[in-house]
Chain A
Amino acid sequence: QVQLVQSGAEVKKPGASVKVSCKASGYTFTSYPIYWLRQAPGQGFEYLGWLSAGNGAPIFSQRFQDRVTFTKDTSANTAYMELTSLRSEDTAVYYCARNNWNRLDPWGQGTLVTVSS
């Protein structure tokens, strides 16, 4: 079945960077964009941007464009999101999701990133 499996929880200090992976299976990885979102504790969803799994072109939300990078390893069917200059307000569960004709389906299981000194 179509599935996205993300890397495990991370604890980082303020100012550090974090890289989250998202491994796809059950479909042709290069045929669908991968979206990245986050959900702070008790909050709704915030959009970070997306990556074309085909040509690798990234599109960033204006709010994060100077701190986030999207990459991919097509041979491993894996997308990556790196967020730099972490601050406490970046503490959240980070999700990847496949964009299937303008609907996000499925989602990865989420990766908790905790930023704390």
Chain B
Amino acid sequence: QSVLTQPPSVSGAPGQRVTISCTGSSSNIGAGYDVNWYQQLPGTAPKLVIYGDTHRPSGVPDRFSGSKSGTSASLAITGLQAEDEADYYCQSQDSSLSGEVVFGGGTKLTVL
């Protein structure tokens, strides 16, 4: 059982916009801890796509954006492309676990 809750799957057609939610609580996202998002292509290591709630690392397309409000965060991908098909994970920290990193269970994005 993951500390952060994500939908198991989302899908969209090429060119469309999709969002992936990440719901936490007052001890993690709601406590003000940063939310980071990782993309994991099949058989590969995770890659950071959003950090500090809303910031994009260099090299990540501006089609990827992040937001946070209260105890939830979201990852949005616009102009969906076939190469975006992957698993996406949110990550934060939790004060009830002495600041340990915590993850969502992951969301499988399918590009139709």
Binding site for B on A (CB under 8 A): 35, 37, 44-45, 47, 61-62, 95, 97, 102-110
Determine the distance from Cα of A8 to Cα of B87 in the docked complex, in whole angstroms. Answer: 24
How many of B's residues come within 8 Å of A, CB to CB? 24
User: Is the pair A104, B106 in contact by a Cβ cutoff of 8 Å?
Assistant: no
User: Is the pair B36, A44 in contact by a Cβ cutoff of 8 Å?
Assistant: no
B104 on the interface (CB 8 Å rule)? yes
Give the residue of B2, B48, B102 whose beta carbon is less than 8 angstroms from that of A103.
Answer: B48
Determine the distance from Cα of A116 to Cα of B91 in the docked complex, in whole angstroms. Answer: 31
Binding site for A on B (CB under 8 A): 2, 33-34, 36, 38, 44-48, 51-52, 57, 89, 91, 93, 97, 100-106
Q: Other CB < 8 Å A-B pairs besides A45-B46, A106-B47, A108-B45, 14 of them?
A: A37-B101, A45-B89, A45-B91, A47-B100, A47-B103, A97-B46, A103-B48, A104-B36, A105-B51, A105-B57, A106-B48, A107-B47, A109-B45, A110-B45
Known: A45-B103, A47-B101, A47-B102. A107 touches B52 (CB 8 A): no
User: Is the pair B45, A103 in contact by a Cβ cutoff of 8 Å?
Assistant: no
Measured CB to CB, the closest approach of chain A to B100, in angstroms, equals 6
Determine the distance from Cα of A22 to Cα of B97 in the docked complex, in whole angstroms. Answer: 26
* A107 surroundings in chain B (CB, below 8 A): 45-47
Determine the distance from Cα of A44 to Cα of B100 in the docked complex, in whole angstroms. Answer: 16
Determine the distance from Cα of A110 to Cα of B40 in the docked complex, in whole angstroms. Answer: 12
* A95 surroundings in chain B (CB, below 8 A): 45-46
Give the residue of A61, A97, A103, A104 whose beta carbon is less than 8 angstroms from that of B52.
Answer: A103
Give the residue of A44, A62, A104 whose beta carbon is less than 8 angstroms from that of B101.
Answer: A104
> Can you report 7 residue pairs joining A to B where beta carbons are below 8 Å apart?
A44-B89, A44-B105, A45-B91, A47-B103, A102-B33, A103-B36, A104-B48
Measured CB to CB, the closest approach of chain B to A39, in angstroms, equals 9
Closest residue on chain B to residue A35 by CB atoms: B101
User: Is the pair A44, B104 in contact by a Cβ cutoff of 8 Å?
Assistant: yes
Determine the distance from Cα of A92 to Cα of B106 in the docked complex, in whole angstroms. Answer: 16
